[in-house]
Amino acid sequence: MIVPLLSTRLRENGGITHQLRSFTQLTGIPLRVSDSNGREVWQSDICQKKNFFCTLSRGKGGKDRFCRRAHKKAFRESIRWGEATIRTCCHSLMQVTAPIMNHGRLVGYLIASPFLLVDPSELQPDELSSLFRGLEKKQSLEKAISSIPVVKDEEAHQSAKDLFRLAEALSDPDLSCLREAREIQELQGKIVDQILDFKALDKDFNPQSLSRLFYEQEREIIVKIRLGDRLGAKEILHRLLAIVLSEHLENFELLKISILELLIILTRAAVEAGTKIEEVLGMKYRFITESAAIKDQEDLCIWVAHLLEKLMEGIYQTRHAKNYQRLEKTLSFIEAHCHESITVERIAKEVYLSPSRLSHIVKDELGMTLGECVSKVRVDKAKDLLREKELPISQIALEVGYPDQSYFTKVFKKVEKCTPKTFREKAF
Amino acid sequence: MVMNHRYQEPEIHQMLQTLSQAVVMRDCKTVQELTERMVEERVDLFVILNQGLNPGMLWACEQFRKGTFHVPELLMSSRALKIGMNILRPLIRDRERNVVGRVVIGTVKFDLHDIGKNLVNIVLEGNGFEVIDLGVDVSPEKFVRTVEKHEAQILAMSSLLTSTMGWMKSTIELLRQAGMKRVVRTVIGGAPVTSIFAHNIGADAYCAEATSAAETVKKLLGIEA
């Protein structure tokens, strides 16, 4: 069932085979597409050449089981890390592998190999011996080796990325199913970085120093959450997870309890920062019900990381909503009082904020200073009045809070790029 | 530092720095030439390893952590390191002919990292240990079987991933079940591994860095370092 699926896809989609060919043309690396059982369903032209290393090394009688085993290991790693893997094959040559998935199920893989990162003439005796291990006909193989493409190490990484994109194009719908794997591994990498930092800072790494550190970081993350500092909070979460893992990695139940404690700290801080309590309770409830199904620490860690993201998003939205209310109040106050003298202090008092906080909110949400905002409201009102022909401009200036007509004209021109007179003429 | 060579200390220092840099830059030719030259000039083998090759590799690993190096660059740095080590290894082996102990070493199951472990190997060999290296992705059964077969006194395990550290616990558990836990001393190491973890899983020692491996193992065996 699966084989025709992949080969049909290749046969029917000329665009993709063109892309596969281009890969080899650009990188020089032979490319093969295999189904999940290791049967090749497509290969680049180089693979059919007489002196192609892999054909020669396989010989007669299915000696390619070593290759298949190496390929299998490689694509498994690729699924585990959520990206194309670069590693050595059974003959110590380089290979890049990427899985082809169909709705989360492996249907085949792409394998770009063999290639070398150094010139064949520079291979060391031990490298040559592992290259020739178990092989006969060394003479013809030596020739084949000299035709193996050499790729610069900086370029090999790019080739791996390109291969992953090709695998994505061959997958159905795409390789987004591997995104979570990648996310999990990235998080674990960050946690290990933190553990390394702890070890570098504190040679006498012990449970007491860890508890102290946890306490410090706990306070720190509460501050970051309250401030709505997403990146800062995330970094401290990595540190907290590193502490928890260092303490309880070998005991999953204890680890779970520690993570639950962490969850309580995070949610409490989020409530203080303005997230709705019902939402937070919902998250806690979900943790308790979902955590029973979580069987390893990697999933547990990513669960908390996602939770923090949700909490921060909640805080952001609540703040946003709160700011919005305050802005509305600010604008209607300016509108109602625009014929009077308006100071920042006066508006701030009206919306229960400090003058500097108000200025910040206006700048953040509207992208203009409070002064510019007042001018804008006044000019908008003036525009409405200018449309009523009867009123002289001096009168309008006065009604929108500018006793000095020439100053009003200046402000109007700055906002509307034309004088009030021209505006009126255009309006009619 | 052994000083019966014609270079002055600052020159040696400079050479060591160039050697480190060559490992980072994946310049295998320079690594080979410089290592050979320093060996010829009788610079202490461990000085070449610990102050030249090893810091270069650590720097390359750091670049990998930061994301400026990717797998191919790391592989090439580790190849450069290996070229240097291939020169040093036979000489280091020769230096200490009295076998002080036998160590079985490997990276745990599902973990394919071996740079740190390879460094530990050479450090142990240079200090008179016979090392049986099982490579990477080693199952608990294979560890225990090999320890039993070779009657090793030490079992050394490495893990570079939080997700594979659990296999250290399983291996120690299996060792205990086989009745060998008291006879065989276990030592663990790796980036995410800590002394707390070692204590929690019942490992006899935690090795913080490759360079202190011999000291750690000797201490375990009651040999004066």
pLDDT tens digits for B140-193? Answer: 999 999 999 999 999 999 999 999 999 999 999 999 999 998 899 999 999 999
Kindly state the DSSP code that residue B50 receives in the 8-state scheme. Answer: I
Same domain, residue pair B112 and B83:
no
Q: What is the mean pLDDT of chain B?
A: 90
Residue of A nearest to B112 (CA): A77
Instruction: Give the type of residue at A163.
Output: L
> How close, in Å, is residue A75 to chain B by CA atoms?
13
Tell me the pLDDT band of A21, cut-offs 50, 70 and 90.
Answer: very high
Q: State residue A201's pLDDT score.
A: 78
Pairwise CA distance, residues B170 & B193, whole Å: 15
Q: Of B68, B194, B199, B201, which to mutate for an interface test with A (greatest number of A Cβ within 10 Å)?
A: B194
Across A340-354, average pLDDT: 88
Same domain, residue pair B65 and B170:
no
Tell me the pLDDT band of A59, cut-offs 50, 70 and 90.
Answer: low
Kindly state the DSSP code that residue B44 receives in the 8-state scheme. Answer: -
A208 beta partners = none
A245 beta partners = none
Same domain, residue pair B184 and B207:
yes
Torsion A102-A105-A106-A108 (CA) sign: negative
Give pLDDT tens digits for B82-93. Answer: 999 999 988 887
Region of B42 on the Ramachandran plot (φ > 0 left; ψ -120 to 50 alpha; else beta): left
Q: Do B194 and A205 touch (CB under 8 A)?
A: yes
Same domain, residue pair B56 and B107:
no
Return the higher-pLDDT residue of A322 and B70: B70
Q: DSSP for A347-389?
A: HHHHTTS-HHHHHHHHHHHHSS-HHHHHHHHHHHHHHHHHTST
Same domain, residue pair B40 and B108:
no
Question: Is residue A4 pLDDT above 60, yes or no?
Answer: no
Pairwise CA distance, residues B121 & A341, whole Å: 81
Residue of B nearest to A84 (CA): B71
* Beta carbons within 10 angstroms of residue A378's beta carbon: 24
Residue of B nearest to A200 (CA): B208
Tell me the pLDDT band of A1, cut-offs 50, 70 and 90.
Answer: very low
Pairwise CA distance, residues B165 & B109, whole Å: 9
pTM above 0.90, yes or no: no
| B202 CB within 8 Å of a chain A CB | no
Across B1-30, average pLDDT: 84
A2-174 classified as CATH 3.40.50: no
Domain boundaries along the sequence of chain A: 2-174, 181-318, 337-427
CA A299 to chain CA mean position, Å: 18
Same domain, residue pair B115 and B209:
yes
Q: State residue B157's pLDDT score.
A: 97
Same domain, residue pair B50 and B80:
yes
Q: Do A191 and B192 touch (CB under 8 A)?
A: yes
- The helix or strand, by DSSP H or E, that contains position A16, with its residue range, turns out to be helix A14-27
Total beta-carbon pairs less than 8 A apart between chain A and chain B: 91
Q: State residue A57's pLDDT score.
A: 78
Does the residue B77 lie in any domain? Answer: yes
First CA to last CA across chain B, in angstroms? 18
Same domain, residue pair B90 and B105:
no
Same domain, residue pair B127 and B189:
yes
Chain B residues within an 8 Å CB radius of A199: 194, 208
**Closest to B204 (Cα-Cα) out of B217, B223, B191:** B217
Joined tokens for residue A232 = 């800062």
Q: Which of A191, A250, A296 is opposite residue B200, by nearest beta carbon?
A: A250
Give pLDDT tens digits for A362-402. Answer: 887 777 888 888 988 899 889 888 877 678 888 899 989 99
Q: Please list, in sequence order, all residues whose beta carbon lies within 8 angstroms of the beta carbon of residue A249, skipping any fewer than 6 positions away.
A: A255, A297, B162, B165, B166, B197, B200
Class of domain A337-427: mainly alpha
**Number of domains within chain B:** 2
Does the residue B185 lie in any domain? Answer: yes
Tell me the pLDDT band of A3, cut-offs 50, 70 and 90.
Answer: very low
Among A243-257, A346-360, A377-391, where is mean pLDDT lowest? A377-391
Last residue of a domain, one of B95, B126, B147: B95
Instruction: Give the type of residue at A269.
Output: A
CATH number at residue B64: 1.10.1240.10
Give pLDDT tens digits for A108-147. Answer: 999 999 999 999 888 888 888 888 877 776 677 777 888 8
Joined tokens for residue A362 = 């206006």
Q: Do B163 and A297 touch (CB under 8 A)?
A: yes
Does the residue B192 lie in any domain? Answer: yes
**Closest to B156 (Cα-Cα) out of B118, B126, B110:** B118
Question: Is residue A79 pLDDT above 80, yes or no?
Answer: yes
Does the residue B41 lie in any domain? Answer: yes
B189 beta partners = B158
Please list the alpha-helical segments (H only) found in A82-206.
125-132, 138-146, 153-170, 179-201
Fold matches, A2-174 and A337-427: no
What does the buried/exposed string (b/e) look like for A45-71 if buried means 16 or more CB atoms within 10 Å of the residue's CB? Answer: ebbeeeebbbebbbeeeeebeebeebb
Question: B195 lies in which domain range?
Answer: 101-221
Q: Of A97, A162, A191, A192, which to mutate for an interface test with B (greatest number of B Cβ within 10 Å)?
A: A192
Same domain, residue pair B217 and B111:
yes
Same domain, residue pair B171 and B215:
yes
CB B155 within 8 A of CB B147: yes
Instruction: Give the type of residue at A39.
Output: R
| B25 CB within 8 Å of a chain A CB | no
Last residue of a domain, one of B95, B115, B146: B95
Q: State residue A157's pLDDT score.
A: 93
CB A225 within 8 A of CB B196: no
Q: What is the ipTM of this complex?
A: 0.85
Return the higher-pLDDT residue of A48 and B138: B138
Question: Is residue A63 pLDDT above 70, yes or no?
Answer: no
Please list the alpha-helical segments (H only) found in A150-178.
153-170
Joined tokens for residue A352 = 């229960």
**Closest to A153 (Cα-Cα) out of B14, B79, B148, B56:** B79
Joined tokens for residue B96 = 């200490």
| B165 CB within 8 Å of a chain A CB | yes
The DSSP bridge pattern shows strands B154-158 and B129-133 to be: unpaired
Q: Do A206 and B195 touch (CB under 8 A)?
A: yes
Pairwise CA distance, residues B147 & B178, whole Å: 11
Same domain, residue pair B114 and B215:
yes
Question: Is residue B111 pLDDT above 60, yes or no?
Answer: yes
| B196 CB within 8 Å of a chain A CB | yes
Does the residue B4 lie in any domain? Answer: no
Among A2-16, A242-256, A320-334, where is mean pLDDT lowest? A2-16
